[in-house]
Amino acid sequence: MTGASLSPSPPIPCASTRFTLDGSEELENHLARICKRVLAEVLALVSDQNLEALLLGGGYGRGEGGVLKTEAGDRPYNDLEFYICLRGNHWRNERRYVAALHSLAESLTPVAGVDVEFKLLSLGKLRRSPPSMFYYDLMRGHRRLWGEEALLAQCAHHCAAERIPLPEATRLLMNRCSGLLLARQRLHRPPLAPEDADFVGRNLAKAQLALGDVLLTMHGQYHWSCLERARRLELFSSNCPHLPEIHWHHRAGVEFKLHPCRAAASLPELRSQHEELRALALELWLWLETRRLHRAFANPLDYALDARNKCPETHPCRNYLVNLKAFGPASLLGKKAYRHPRQRVLQGLSILLWSPQSLEDPRILQQTQRLLGTSSRDLNGLLDAYHRLWRRFN
């Protein structure tokens, strides 16, 4: 499905000289100060003997961070995502440092003005892991705050976009449609507070961007830069349904990513925008999954009730252990014990986002409860259970 032949992995690029494309010097200096402080705090916590690398990922690490225009000047908008590579056993490092890093992130968030996140990485695991969209984005676009460039040289296989496997397109769309699902939950519990409207607007924009990104990923044309993705999509041709609409939404998603704004639309307008994106995402979802799984799906309920393996790329024995750890011995009965738990998310999403009316059927409700591991019967309870499951296996 990639439509592109494999080529040698490109070299890992140098860090961008800026955090944003057009943010003010004040904003650039603010982000530089935050990075400097983060490095000092991390070194005080883990020591320079244990720290192999500290990377700023996300939009600001790629030099395309969002610039929020306010009366007080330019402000950051996106999360600041820091990746810490430590020497030694990864599991032991997690046990030792995760709680302290969580506390550090909480203390730095008010200073930064946006959420600060720390994630532990193992360079050994990074070198051994197969290509994925997450690793591609991190390797191709980051700001290196600590560590030598040579440390990442053995991770260059993550730098070729054409190697991103097709299930990553499904995963991307699953995550952005999960954002639509959470946004709908807020849209249907008025009054809509400003922070709820901002949450909804942000997730609508992420879904807009994902529609085009999914198409590029399917054809091996994904790129770490959203500007380059926009250029490639304009030249893209496909028999994908509603391609002109996808083009339009992708352009809007790129604009929001670079120049976010607080949602100013009314509740009816946001609901209308949400419904349009929900319907368009469904068309793309069924089109993508038909090609990935080599089985036509007539509608979302057909997809949700289809019993075949929806994560065939995963290893059954590993899935067995993941299910045991996540759900206990009771989950090991039947062939589903050898399916990855993400299958539950994929099926649950299809019901809750695109076919919630089917929950009036007791059989569908019962199956949804089993998928999500909950006894809740009302929609909000099912959504909460879905959210917990999705956060674990997204």
Judgement on whether residues 29 and 131 belong to the same structural domain of the protein: yes
Q: Determine the Cα–Cα distance for residues 93 and 85; give it in Å rounded to an integer.
A: 10
Condensed to tens digits (0 to 9), the pLDDT of residues 115-150 reads: 999 999 988 888 999 999 999 999 999 999 999 878
Closest by CA to 46, choosing from 139, 118, 107, 114, is 118
For residue 15, being part of any structural domain is answered with no
Helix axes 342-354, 267-293, angle to 10 degrees: 140
220-266 per-position pLDDT tens digit: 999 999 999 999 999 988 888 899 999 999 999 999 999 999 888 89
Tell whether 165 and 288 lie within a shared domain.
Answer: yes
For residue range 302-343, what is the model confidence (pLDDT) as tens digits? 999 998 999 999 999 999 999 898 888 878 877 789 999 999
Would you give the DSSP letter of residue 114?
S
Assess if residue 9 is contained within a domain.
Answer: no
> According to the model, what pLDDT value does residue 16 have?
59
Using the structure block, give the residue that is written with the tokens 């050898």. 338
Tell whether 289 and 301 lie within a shared domain. no
Q: Return d(Cα 198, Cα 195) in angstroms, integer.
A: 5
Q: What is the CATH number of the domain that holds 103?
A: 3.30.460
pLDDT tens-digit map of 81-114: 999 999 999 889 999 999 999 999 999 999 999 9
- Single out the residue of 40, 38, 226, 61 nearest to residue 118, CA to CA: 38
Tens-digit pLDDT profile for residues 351-374: 999 999 999 999 999 999 999 999
The boundaries of the domain holding residue 220 are 160-294
Q: Of the candidates 77, 111, 146, which is a domain's last residue?
A: 146
The tally of domains found in the chain comes to 3
Q: What is the DSSP letter of 61?
A: H
233 and 111 in a single domain? The answer is no
| DSSP bridge partners of 84 | 54, 120
Asked if residue 4 has pLDDT above 80, the reply is no
* Inter-axis angle of helices 379-393 and 342-354, nearest 10: 140
Kindly state whether residues 99 and 42 are assigned to the same domain: yes
- Which residues lie below 8 Å from residue 373, measured CB to CB, with a gap of 6+? 327, 344, 385, 389
Do 90 and 196 have their domain in common? no
Domain boundary among 263, 294, 325: 294
Give the per-residue pLDDT at 218: 95
Tokens 């380059």 belong to residue: 228
Same domain for 261 and 274? yes
The answer to whether the beta carbons of residues 394 and 345 sit under 8 Å apart is yes
Domain-ending residue, one of 294, 311, 330: 294
Q: What mean pLDDT is predicted for residues 289-296?
A: 96
Q: What CA–CA distance (Å, rounded) separates 165 from 24?
A: 38
Question: What sign results for the dihedral spanned by CA atoms 53, 59, 62, 66?
Answer: negative
pLDDT of residue 148: 86
pLDDT tens digits, 193-223:
999 999 999 999 999 999 999 999 999 999 9
- Assess whether 285 and 310 both reside in one domain: no
* pLDDT above 70: residue 15: no
Is residue 234 included in any domain, yes or no? Answer: yes
pLDDT-derived band at 8, boundaries 50, 70, 90 = very low
In this structure, the answer to whether residues 246 and 269 fall within a common structural domain is: yes
Instruction: Kindly state whether residue 17 falls inside one of the protein's structural domains.
Output: no
Question: Do 83 and 175 have their domain in common?
Answer: no
In a domain, 8, yes or no: no
Q: Is residue 6 part of a domain?
A: no
**Cβ atoms 15, 60 nearer than 8 A:** no
Do 283 and 167 reside in the same domain of the chain? Answer: yes
- Per the domain annotation, does 18 fall within a domain? no
DSSP 85: E
Mean pLDDT, residues 12-25: 79
Residue 11 lies in a domain: no
Domain identity same for 379 and 268 = no
